[in-house]
């Protein structure tokens, strides 16, 4: 993370068009990509749960989606700051990615509400897993829908001709993406560990109470 | 008729017969749709134009569907029928398909009221807009029946359903509005069809996991 920060501010050249505000790009885009990866992981773990029936995938799927939602909120915040700096408005509907994250944020908020309204047990695990799978299907469909609904005026950095960045910029981008991914993974492991020990404690308590 | 189709038909017929006898959902949906259109007449400023009216039509359709979907599993829940259905010797996805077809029929009746009312009150509807409505209905019922079954499993049933359903319905609204106002609606109709196919397959495949205890 420290290396990424240093690279962003000292190595990557200041963008000629957007100036210093372009620096937030190195956070915004990695956060967004990491969030997608988290949602994808959640869906994958959900699929594994339905496939194998192994209980441990439930917590893994839930934790991944939880991380994805956290990074999604951060994406919304950084995107909003970037919009303020670039277009002097906190929210612009013309920015597809931001709108997509708003939709996903709403969708996954409902995930938590649905999950916590169902009694813990195999049925909740399976419903959560199916929901996570729907999320993975919704991401591309929503993206297409938002694309269809408006003209595309967001500055496109990655084009078919490769990334439109200088080497230093691209390096800084990759390093910061790696840093964010690492952060996400560490948070995922910590939360998973905490949740697992919670569950074990619960089992122990029940065992003691039954004995 | 093969066994699967017969199961689906029997399940859908059960819902339709229940509705014919009780007459609860469809009249409520029909009145709701007209009432909402009237409310929107007052909510729209006078010179806001036709495009805004088409937008409101889609909002009305989605909320009417939500009204019907919220009730769609209530008879099963109240009568504890779901346990019996799960035990019945039929493919479980047939339960979903039967419910989707019945909901589609209810929605279609409500729209037979809604679309002429809209044309009368606001603006005429083109053929492509009507095709868009039909395609969106299929998606609404396919996804809606599944998420409604999900929401039924929880304690806060009626509370969670709109929260889950609305983000899923956003692509349908985009496709529907596009098909209503765009000059060349082909891509929007194609998108709606794609959505229907994708989410129908997904719902069909995953319903079994949602319903079993």
| Lowest-confidence pick of A38-42, A171-175, B171-175 | A171-175
**Where in chain B does DSSP place strands (E)?**
none
Give the highest mean pLDDT range of A85-89, B85-89, B113-117: B113-117
- Read off the pLDDT of each residue in A88-113 and give the average, rounded to a whole number: 85
Rounded distance, CA A65 to CA A70, Å?
A: 9
Close Cβ partners of A169 (under 8 Å, ≥ 6 residues apart): A12, A13
User: Has residue A171 got a pLDDT over 70?
Assistant: yes
**Residue A170's pLDDT is what?**
76
Cβ(B124)–Cβ(A88) below 8 Å: no
pLDDT band at A154 (very low <50, low <70, confident <90, very high): very low
Decide: pTM greater than 0.80. Answer: yes
Rounded distance, CA B168 to CA B143, Å?
A: 8
Tally Cβ neighbours within 10 Å of residue B21. 8
pLDDT band at B61 (very low <50, low <70, confident <90, very high): very high
Cβ(A54)–Cβ(A24) below 8 Å: no
For B21, the token pair is 């006898």
Contacts of residue B177 in chain A, CB cutoff 8 Å? 149
Whole-number average pLDDT of chain A:
80
Residue A15, beta-bridge partner list: A19
Give the highest mean pLDDT range of A148-152, A164-168, B82-86: B82-86
pLDDT band at A196 (very low <50, low <70, confident <90, very high): confident
**Residue B115's pLDDT is what?**
92
**Residue A14's pLDDT is what?**
53
Contacts of residue A143 in chain B, CB cutoff 8 Å? none
Cβ(B4)–Cβ(B87) below 8 Å: no
Burial of B52 (C-beta count, 10 Å sphere; 0-12/13-18/19+): middle
Per-window interface: A 86-145 vs B, CB < 8 A: 103-104, 106-107, 109-110, 113-114, 117-119, 122-124, 126-127, 129-131, 133-134, 137-138, 141-142, 144-145
Task: Indicate the residue of B160, B168, B213 with minimum beta-carbon distance to A113.
Answer: B160
Rounded distance, CA B62 to CA B74, Å?
A: 19
**Residue B109's pLDDT is what?**
93
**Residue A5's pLDDT is what?**
64
Question: Torsion angle of alpha carbons B208, B209, B212, B213, nearest 10°?
Answer: 180
**Residue A20's pLDDT is what?**
60
Quote the radius of gyration of chain A (alpha carbons, Å).
Answer: 20
Percentage of the residues of chain A whose pLDDT score is greater than 70: 81
Task: Indicate the residue of B155, B157, B164 with minimum beta-carbon distance to A110.
Answer: B164
| Lowest-confidence pick of A194-198, B131-135, B192-196 | A194-198
**Residue A8's pLDDT is what?**
62
User: Has residue B193 got a pLDDT over 90?
Assistant: yes
**Residue A4's pLDDT is what?**
64
**Residue B148's pLDDT is what?**
92
Q: Please judge whether B156 and A113 are an interchain contact, meaning their C-beta atoms are less than 8 angstroms apart.
A: yes
For A18, the token pair is 């957007």
**Residue A181's pLDDT is what?**
83
User: Has residue A21 got a pLDDT over 80?
Assistant: no
- Read off the pLDDT of each residue in A102-113 and give the average, rounded to a whole number: 91
Residue in B140, B150, B131 with CA at minimum distance from that of residue B200: B140
| Higher pLDDT among residues B19 and A86, named by residue | B19
| Higher pLDDT among residues B203 and A94, named by residue | B203
CA distance B20 to chain A (A): 32
pLDDT band at A9 (very low <50, low <70, confident <90, very high): low
Residue in A87, A93, A88, A99 with CA at minimum distance from that of residue A32: A99
Contacts of residue B202 in chain A, CB cutoff 8 Å? 133-134, 137
- Read off the pLDDT of each residue in B75-94 and give the average, rounded to a whole number: 82
For A102, the token pair is 């708003």
Q: Please judge whether B160 and A104 are an interchain contact, meaning their C-beta atoms are less than 8 angstroms apart.
A: no
Per-window interface: B 150-189 vs A, CB < 8 A: 150-151, 153-157, 159-160, 163-164, 166-168, 170-171, 174-175, 177-178, 187-188
Residue B87 Cα to chain centre, angstroms: 27
Burial of B114 (C-beta count, 10 Å sphere; 0-12/13-18/19+): buried
| Lowest-confidence pick of A58-67, A87-96, A144-153, B133-142 | A144-153
User: Has residue A159 got a pLDDT over 70?
Assistant: no
For B34, the token pair is 């007209």
- Read off the pLDDT of each residue in B37-47 and give the average, rounded to a whole number: 85
Burial of B12 (C-beta count, 10 Å sphere; 0-12/13-18/19+): buried
Query: What is the DSSP code string of chain A?
Result: -HHHHHIIIIISPPBTTTBGGGGGHHHHHHHHHHHHHHHHHHHHHHHHHHHH--THHHHHHHHHHHHHHHHHHHHHHHHHHHHHHHHS-S--TT-HHHHHHHHHHHHHHHHHHHHHHSPSSHHHHHHHHHHHHHHHHHHHHHHHHHHHHS---S---EETTEE-S-HHHHHHHHHHHHHHHHHHHHHHHHHHHHHHHHHHHHHHHHHHHH-
Q: State the DSSP H helix or E strand holding residue B170, giving kind and residue range, or none if neither.
A: helix B157-181
Tally Cβ neighbours within 10 Å of residue B126. 13
Task: Indicate the residue of B164, B175, B198 with minimum beta-carbon distance to A145.
Answer: B175
DSSP letter assigned to residue B185? -
CA distances from A101 to A4, A135, B167, B169, B172 (A): 24, 12, 11, 15, 17
- Read off the pLDDT of each residue in B131-150 and give the average, rounded to a whole number: 92
CA distance between the termini of chain B: 30
Cβ(B123)–Cβ(B54) below 8 Å: yes
CA distance B211 to chain A (A): 8
Q: Please judge whether B160 and A117 are an interchain contact, meaning their C-beta atoms are less than 8 angstroms apart.
A: yes
**Residue A152's pLDDT is what?**
35
């Amino acid at each position: 993370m420290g290396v990424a920060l240093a690279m962003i501010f000292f190595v990557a050249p200041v963008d000629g068009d957007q100036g210093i505000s372009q620096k937030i790009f190195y956070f915004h885009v990695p956060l967004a990509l990491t969030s997608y990866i988290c949602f994808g992981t959640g869906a994958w773990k959900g699929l594994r749960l339905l496939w194998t029936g192994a209980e441990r995938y439930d917590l893994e799927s839930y934790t991944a989606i939880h991380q994805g939602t956290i990074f999604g909120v951060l994406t919304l915040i950084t995107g909003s700051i970037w919009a303020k700096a670039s277009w002097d408005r906190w929210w612009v509907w013309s920015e597809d990615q931001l709108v997509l994250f708003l939709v996903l944020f709403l969708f996954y908020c409902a995930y938590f509400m649905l999950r916590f309204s169902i009694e813990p047990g195999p049925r909740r695990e399976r419903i959560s897993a199916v929901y996570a799978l729907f999320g993975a299907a919704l991401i591309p469909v929503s993206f297409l829908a938002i694309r269809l609904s408006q003209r595309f005026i967001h500055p496109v950095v990655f084009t078919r001709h490769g990334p439109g960045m200088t080497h230093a910029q691209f390096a800084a981008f990759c390093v910061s993406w790696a840093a964010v991914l690492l952060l996400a993974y560490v948070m995922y492991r910590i939360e998973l560990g905490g949740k697992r020990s919670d569950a074990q404690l619960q089992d122990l308590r029940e065992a003691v109470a039954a004995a | 008729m093969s066994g699967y189709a017969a199961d689906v038909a029997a399940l859908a017929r059960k819902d339709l017969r229940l509705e014919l006898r009780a007459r609860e959902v469809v009249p409520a949906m029909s009145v709701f749709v007209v009432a909402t259109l009237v409310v929107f007449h007052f909510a729209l400023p006078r010179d806001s134009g036709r495009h805004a009216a088409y937008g409101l039509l889609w909002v009305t359709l989605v909320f009417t569907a939500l009204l019907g979907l919220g009730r769609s599993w209530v008879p099963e829940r109240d009568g504890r029928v779901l346990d019996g259905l799960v035990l019945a010797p039929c493919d479980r996805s047939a339960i979903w398909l039967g419910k989707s077809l019945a909901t589609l029929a209810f929605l279609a009746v409500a729209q037979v009221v809604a679309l002429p009312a809209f044309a009368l009150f606001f603006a005429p509807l083109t053929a492509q807009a009507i095709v868009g409505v039909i395609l969106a209905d299929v998606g609404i019922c396919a996804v809606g029946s599944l998420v409604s079954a999900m929401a039924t499993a929880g304690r806060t049933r009626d509370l969670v359903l709109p929260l889950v359903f609305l983000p899923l319905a956003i692509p349908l609204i985009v496709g529907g509005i596009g098909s209503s106002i765009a000059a060349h609606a082909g891509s929007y109709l194609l998108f709606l069809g794609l959505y229907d196919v994708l989410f129908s397959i997904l719902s069909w495949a995953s319903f079994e996991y949602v319903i079993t205890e």
